[in-house]
Chain A
Amino acid sequence: MSDDTGHDPKKSRRDMLKAIGVGAGLLLLPIGRVKADKDDKTADPDYDWEKHYWGYAVDTTKCIGCLACMRACRAENDVPAGYVRTWVERYSISADGTVRVDCAKDEMKGFEEVKDEPVKSFFVPKICNHCEKSVCNQVCPVGAAYRTKDGVVLVDTQRCIGCGYCVQACPYGSRFINPTTHTADKCTLCYHRITKGMQPACVQACPKGARIFGDLADKKSPLSILLRQRRYRLLKPEMGTHPKCYYIGLDREVI
C-alpha cells in the first residue's frame, strides 16, 4: 500500500529495520582489534611474579615513632611535600577513655611532646594495605588501578585521568592525587625494589624491626613465620577489603 508520493511506508520501515540489523551485526565483527602482544614481557626476565605473593606486617609494640620510615619513603619515591605514602599515628588514651590521635607535623623534626597524661600511648605505623578486594580497583573508571599477580596494588600513571574516585574510595586514607603528576599516587610497596630482591625502603629503614615485609607464598619466609607465631589484626575488616597488611599489637581504638 503506498500513498500519493509513491512511498510505501511499510516497505521503508522494513528497510530501516534491515539497515539497523546489518549495522548491529557489523558491531560484532572484529574491527581492527589488535591482539595482546604475547612477546611483551610484563616482568624483568629474572623476576617471575607467579612465584611470589607479597605481604606486610607492622609490629606496633616495637615502633618508637622515629619516623625513619617516612623519611626513607619520601626520599626513595620522591613523595611530594604535604602528602604521605606511609605515616605513623600516635594514640594517647586517657583515664576517662578519650582517645587522641595525631601525626607528626614534620618528619624531619619528629613527634613533639604533648602536655597530656595518658594511661596508654603507642605508635601505629600505617601504609597502603594492598587489599585483595581493594575498593580502589573496583571504582577506577579507566582501569588504571590494578593488582599485580604478586599481590601489589598499583596505579598505571599512564592511564590515570586523575578523577580522584579511588582516593575517595580508600577506607584507609592511603591514596592521594600527586600534585606534580596529577594522577593518583600511593605506596607501591617499593615495587621497583622488591622485584630486584631488595626490601621496601621503609622496612629497611626501621631500626626496631617494627615493619616486616615478606612473601606469603613462601611458608618459610619471616613474614609467614611471624604470622603463625603472633596475634594480629587487620584494619577495618568490616569493610570486606581483605587487606594484606597485618598489625600486631593493635588496640581497640585504632581506626
Chain B
Amino acid sequence: MHTRKSFLYRSAEKIKALALTGLSLPLIIKNLNAQRSGSSLPELVAMRGGKGPDDLFSRGIEHLGGINRFVKRGGTVLVKPNIGWDRTPEYGANTNPDLIKAIVESCRKAGASKVYVFDHTCDHWRNTYKNSGIEASVKAAGGEMIPANSKSYYREVSIPGGVTLKKALVHRVYLDADTVINVPILKHHSSTMITASMKNLMGVIWDRYAWHRMGLHQCIADFAALRKPDLVVIDAYNVMTRNGPRGYSKSDLVEYKYLFMSADQVAADAAGAMVLAQSSGIKTPRDIGHIRIAEKAGLGSADLDSLNIKRIVI
C-alpha cells in the first residue's frame, strides 16, 4: 500500500543513495585512475644512493604516480616532519631540511594553495624550528611554518576503534588539511625501539606524555587509524642507530642513504624497522609493538615479502 509515509521514506532512501554516490564519485574515479595507470603502481618505493634524500624524493615520486596523485590543485597540504629536537641537521635527530624543501616545493608546483609545516616539538619549539634548518627551508620553498606550542591550536576528537586511546587533542591543521604527507626521519628510539612514520604522529597531538603512561605502542597504533596520511616519506639517509631519539653525537649515525615512500604507513615503517634490524635485536618488523598492532588492526601491511616493492638504486 502506498501511503504518503512510505513514499516519503522511499524518497529519502533514494536521495541518500544518490548523495552517497555523488560524494564517493571522486573517490571512485580516483581508484579507477589508480587502476588504469597500472596496477603496476608499487605499494612501496624503496630508494638508495643519490645525492641526498631530496634528490631521491624528486627521482622517486613519479613511481608512486607523481605528487599530483596526492595533492589537489587549490587544496591545503600538511607536511609533517620530525622536528623534535633542538639539534642541527648533521646529528640526524630531525628530518633532513633539504628533503622538506623538495617536498614543499613539489606540493606548491602541484598547485597546493597552502603548504603547512609544524611539529609539536620536545625541545623548545622556536629553537628547534630554527636550528633544524627546517624553518628556513619551508620559507624558501613557499610553505608556511606554523606553531604547535599552544593547546589553543588543538581540537579534541575521538579515536575510532581506539583500544587504549579513546580521545586525543589533535592539531587542527592535521585534521583539516586536504592532504597529509608524513615525513619522519628513521631513528632508533630508547622506548619504542624505532621511530618512523606512526611514531612521528605523536607530534600532532597535544598531550604526548599521556601516551607514555598509557602505553606507547598501543596509543601509537590506535592513533594511526584516525587519519591515515596520504603519503609517507621516510628519511633514512643518515640513520641514528643508537642513543635515539635525541642522539648524542654524529657517531650515532650510519649513512645508509635510504628513502622509503608509500601510501601505506605500516609498510613504510616495516621497511624502516628492517634497516634498524641490522644494528639491533629486531628480526622482523612485527617485533615492534606498534607495527604489529597496527597491522592486526588492518591499517596496512608489514609483510614486506608479499608487498609490491619498487627498488631503485642510484
Please say whether chains A and B are actual partners in one complex. no
Which residues of B are in contact with A by a Cβ distance under 8 Å?
A: none
Using a CB–CB cutoff of 8 Å, the interface residues on chain A facing chain B are: none
